[in-house]
Structure 1
């Protein structure tokens, strides 16, 4: 246990004891004046808003419908929290399997010492259809200002006993008190998956099956560089139905294995039932694919056909809404429909392919020890080539490569659905090879404190995908701004791009550049040789870290530069060659610099041996990045002779 973690835990215990001496929740509409006068969060002073309390109560009616009552109260400290007034509650509305009732919402203000309540007009509460299966109840609070308290409550009824609501104690806002009460009948057995580092302020149960668990003074989870989803890092309670107890043979088990989960999905009309649907005009496409000699040629061709033919509606979904044939005719669809088309065409062309359900990085990671389909939010095509090689295809992004796992799936699990072999296996999706980025600079330093030269940049893999997407989406001018990294002293011209559309080759770029060396004077020239290379500012400036770091892939960066010294100048100060590494050697950095025959040669090399780093190791990680960026930004000083 690190010192940082111990300190956080000790503070959490102290704050929890304090919280237990104050009211935790209150009845709807009843509020302490002190909460209306509250100016800041006691345990997170810079918060723009906080949750005063969030209370959930889950129980069952006589028909074993799940009843989920939720009551939440939010305090607004300043206008930066105005978006907290917009509420969106999503639910599974197909066949009225879930529905919301009893919604009440109001804004509470203190006006000249008097409590003023403005209720949300029911005419301003809207039900939005997300797709064929899901809906959202949407509304906004009126009269929101600094000091307001926003309060709402609702009931969510679910006809599916397997749809027990998960509970997140933690969110993007600090939470003074978060409580979940559950009452479960004896005949139902749910597995709990618990993730927390703070002690419970309340943890009690009774013989009737009621259990109350609460945490006080829960810190927010901020957006941090290279984090995955917030949900992955939150303190939480997840629930999975394992069995319904009955008498003798009446007992029934549910989704306690991935095989059961996969079998149910392949028997679903909106997933497994779509994979054999014929697409209009598919005969010509399949016939052309069959003329190709290798599977790789077929895969690349059919993947490109679907990417070019279909427009993604920007919805991740593992099912088909109206059928893949209708989506094909409309030329637009969700992720599930588009990638089912890829599966269908590849299989018709003789390629061994299976659908795979996945959860994107932004949606959160699936726990392999927690078999259920609810956490997955999308579908891709999966091609196992051999024991060491496989392809994962997602045709929703036109810049994805057929031979590279999509970046938004890296370091996540996917469930491959092989119905023919009755095989349903969880597969970890990772890229084990370093993704390289090379920069070659050849430049001349001028006596008037300017640099001019040429550069060649080579991007592989994900770096190529990102660069090509930026170039084609934003245009050349904005792409040049991206290369300049907001350095207004640099001008880039004559940029040439090669092999943008060849999946098997890296992206090659050549360009001319000119750089004004600001800060120089009549006697000295100052310049940083890290030109067009690594960013000038570390993304890890914060001293503390609450979430794990997940780059997705291993980074490999090399810059080789040659800078000709102007006549009449000599080197006054030259950075020293150096190398350093993380304590476990997971990242190494080398700087090699020397002068020879009037030219300064420099080489920077960054090599990461892994892509994920735990928050507990952040002190070492932060110190490494701090020192590395100090060396990346160290200047060379030339003095007039």
Structure 2
């Protein structure tokens, strides 16, 4: 049984655990533990997490960042085997790269009451280039069993001292003990940004540090009576002392924070601290400011040669755009033509970035580019066409919500156009995207519209227009409970975009097999999709079907839900309480129109009652209407969610709403023999 979140003991103490958790000092008691006493449902537990990040001065290179990591993980069952695999991402750029050093790792098992350890060997470590920005070192621990403990230790050195990896104090499994430390010299001023629901406060101390410089000195002296010279070499050392600030965190019994349905990114709610560099001030030098405010962040991004100046380049496309829109004066039509032109001209290479890599001109020439190259190009073309167009900084759902001023908070860019009072968001990386229908990955709270010279304003990225899914079905039911009939669905906006992405990019046989399995072995024939590529129209899916056992035959009566295999069976919301917003991504509506032809010789004994209910504050509604006679039954069901985001204070009523919806969809018609 899981202990409720608010009852779990969470303590903050400053005892140093390193003495009890030296690498390799695994105890029998740890190996004999069968479950976490505070979270018996956990498949694994971090027994100990250690991290220390500090600055080192390297001759001829300056300050570098070093991060030491030591994790010890208890695995209780097979579901916890995933925690025996570790992936370490290492950032790289034109100016340098991060390096992994001193990796050692062991698996421990209790065999015949003795502790046995198995070392991770080199052939179990794999290095992969994940992108132009990241390499990955990945390993899976050997000899994993239920009850094993895995332990690893490594060091990362980085030249990128402006980018401190987030200190995470909460994970999807419990943590028994954490010791973390961040140490920075007085020359670097960092701002600590915290998030999550745990009150984590560091102990802050000032300590003395020093840098030792060693210089080789050569001296030449004349020989006796000025005849001949001799050269000698000596070494001179000097020291520079400075103050360093040390932030220390020691925590015990940190509860797990697990993924839940309709959460945009669970990492947004994990307890953590992000150290953001505000400024650098070396002796006898001017202060070099970084990201202290959103204004300074936006200004720095705009002034980057890989961002703002790319918007001013237009010579490479002028002839094509002139030919495309020369006779068109309507601004909406101009916008649409240029948007479609970019989507068809330049293919997205799959890389996210707010900065160009090779530049917009090369992307246009090669017909392939990253996110910034495509959407900055689009923005530049729209401006050239006389439209009020601006880039918009976006943090994707996987990147989290940028709660604090940080250059790393945004990893994506889209385009914004304002025509009179109409605001339009565009993303030309997705060929199925339409105006104000952005790819799902970008639907993440707010973006920042960047005006000329780096000013900015926030804009809501969630769509206002509802995405519809209208389903109609003609069904014939026989006396054995088998149904056959025809199905048709019409999808618009984000529902259509999602369908086109899954259908057009899939093997058609695999797609059809998954569809049949989705509905429990439905037999489908005459499958057809209309407007799969014509994004100006709703996408339509039609097929014929047969499915057995859709009615229970008991005592000469037939019992069945009029929604058959389309009904919902499980409430996605199971927690007693929820501290996070419910994120549906976009407002949506699903409507069912079902006509059921009844088997000969039967009559209706009872029908579900029509009904409906609403969520408060115009958040959503459900309607259920049914009518019929002994030949045919007609059903109309509507379910609508009007808001992309629903605040946690509505969680109880939302949970009740889905409970009632499922109960209503599962209510049964009863037929009896005439």
- TM-score, normalization by structure 2: 0.83
Give, in angstroms, the shift of residue 83 of structure 1: 3.5
Q: Hey, what does 1:503 align to over in structure 2?
A: 535
Q: CA deviation digits over 1:279-303, x for unaligned, max 9?
A: 9777335522434443333333333
1:26 equivalent in structure 2? 21
Deviation string for 1:298-342 (max 9, x for gaps)? Answer: 333333333334443333222233334444444444323333333
Helix, strand or coil for the counterpart of 2:376?
Answer: helix
3-state SS of the aligned residue for 1:93? strand
2:572 to 539, 555, 559: 539
Counterpart residue number, 1:341: 377
Which residues of 2 match residues 266-277 of structure 1 at below 5 A? Answer: 266-276=302-312
Over aligned residue pairs, what C-alpha RMSD do you find? 3.5
Which whole-Å CA distance do the structure 1 matches of 2:517 and 2:124 have between them?
Answer: 44
Partner of residue 179, structure 2: 179
Give the structure 2 partner of residue 10 of structure 1.
7
1:233 shift after superposition: 2.0
Using a 3 Å threshold, how does the CA distance of structure 1 residues 471 and 253 change in structure 2: closer, same or farther?
closer
Q: Aligned in 2, Cα 1:362/1:427: closer, same or farther, shift over 3 Å?
A: same
1:383 correspondence with 2:378: no
Question: Secondary structure of 1:173's partner?
Answer: coil
Instruction: Check 1:332–1:624 CA distance in 2 against 1; reply closer, same or farther (3 A cut).
Output: same
Deviation at 1:484, TM superposition (A): 5.3
What does residue 625 of structure 1 align with?
A: 658
Given the alignment of the two structures, is residue 59 of structure 1 paired with residue 54 of structure 2, yes or no?
yes
Structure 1 residue 277 displacement after superposition: 5.3
Is the contact between residue 314 and residue 384 of structure 2 (CA under 8 Å) also seen in structure 1?
Answer: no
**Which residue number corresponds to residue 227 of structure 1?**
263
Deviations 1:88-107 (A, max 9, x none): 22233325555335432211
Match of 2:622 among 577, 589, 597: 589
Give me the whole-angstrom Cα distance separating, in 2, the residues matched to 1:616 and 1:79: 36
Q: Say if 1:438 and 1:457, in contact at 8 Å, map to a contact too.
A: yes
CA contact 2:443–2:461 (8 Å) conserved in 1 = yes
What are the within-5 Å matches in structure 2 for residues 154-553 of structure 1? 154-186=154-186, 188-200=188-200, 203-208=202-207, 209-244=245-280, 250-276=286-312, 283-284=319-320, 286-367=322-403, 370-395=404-429, 397-418=430-451, 420-447=452-479, 449-474=481-506, 477-480=509-512, 486-488=518-520, 490-516=522-548, 517-520=550-553, 523-530=556-563, 533=566, 535-541=568-574, 545=578, 547-553=580-586
Give ranges in structure 2 of 5+ residues lacking alignment: 208-244
Q: Using the TM superposition, give the Cα deviation of residue 125 of structure 1 relative to its aligned residue in structure 2, in angstroms.
A: 4.8
- How many equivalent residue pairs? 630
Report the counterpart of residue 142 of structure 2 in structure 1.
142
Confirm or deny: 8 A CA contact 2:360 2:373 kept in the other structure.
yes
Flag structure 1 segments of 5+ consecutive residues without an equivalent: none
User: Could you tell which deviates more after superposition, 158-167 or 454-463?
Assistant: 158-167
CA distance in 2, matches of 1:102, 1:441: 61
Separation (CA, whole Å) in 2 of partners of 1:72 and 1:341: 45
Helix, strand or coil at the partner of 2:388: coil
Q: Which of 594, 599, 608 pairs up with 2:632?
A: 599
* Alpha carbons of structure 1 residues 6 and 493: separation in structure 2 relative to 1, 3 Å: closer
Partner of 1:39: 34
- Structure-2 change in CA distance of 1:449 and 1:196 (3 Å): closer
- The farther-off stretch of 263-272 and 493-502 is 493-502
Distance change in 2, residues 1:86/1:330 (3 Å): farther
Distance of aligned partners of 1:33 and 1:68 in 2 relative to their CA distance in 1, 3 Å threshold: same
Deviation at 1:552? 0.6
Mapped contact 1:392–1:406 kept (Cα < 8 A): no
Residue 149 of structure 1: how far off its partner (Å): 2.6
Inter-partner Cα distance in structure 1 for 2:84 and 2:408: 28
Equivalence for 1:560: 593
Change (3 A) 1:429 1:253: same
CA contact (8 A) 1:25 1:55 kept: no
Give how far 1:210 is off: 2.6
Residue equivalent to 2:67: 68
Deviation at 1:639, TM superposition (A): 0.5
TM-score, normalised with respect to structure 1: 0.86
Per-residue deviation, 1:244 = 4.5
Q: Which residue of 1 aligns with 2:240?
A: none
Q: Which shows bigger deviation, 138-147 or 68-77?
A: 138-147
Q: Distance in 2 between matches of 1:98 and 1:321?
A: 16
Partners in 1 of 2:273 and 2:494 — Cα distance?
35
8 Å contact from structure 1 (residues 255, 372) kept in 2 = yes
| Cα deviation, residue 175, structure 1 | 1.7
CA deviation map 1:331-376 (0-9, x unaligned):
4443233333333443444443333231111221222xx1112022
CA contact (8 A) 2:414 2:425 kept: no
